[in-house]
Amino acid sequence: MSELKIKPLADRVVIEPKEAEEKTASGIIIPDSAKEKPQKGKVVATGPGTKDEKMEVKAGDIVLYGKYAGTEISIDNKEYLIMRQSDILAII
């Protein structure tokens, strides 16, 4: 993976979302219009934290976040989410 050209500030985190499921467990193919928004992703960059809140996550962590958390951004034709650390629910 190439070096990201973005450095988040304060307690912000850049996440690469996991792809939405293509099939159900029984093998039914899910159309694009019915796919759920992913809630799991990989942390690719973190800010330094703030004096009141140290960073708990680090690059490489797999995390769960709220369905509508973060702001979608595109860097080098790849989609990422940028959000505050407090929007992350758990580290897997």
Percent of the chain topping pLDDT 90: 65
The answer to whether the predicted template modeling score (pTM) of the entire model surpasses 0.75 is yes
Domain range enclosing 33: 12-91
pLDDT over threshold 90, residue 63 = yes
- CATH no. for residue 80? 2.30.33.40
Q: Does residue 21 have a pLDDT over 90?
A: no
Domain membership of residue 58 (yes or no) is yes
- Residues 31-39, mean pLDDT to the nearest whole number: 74
> Is residue 81 a part of any domain in this protein?
yes
* Mean pLDDT for the chain overall: 88
What's the total number of domains in the chain?
1
Confirm whether 52 is domain-assigned: yes
Mean pLDDT throughout 59-87? 94
* DSSP notation for the chain: -PPPS----TTEEEEEEPPPPSB-TT-PBPPGGGPPPP-EEEEEEE----SS------TT-EEEE-TT-SEEEEETTEEEEEEEGGGEEEE-
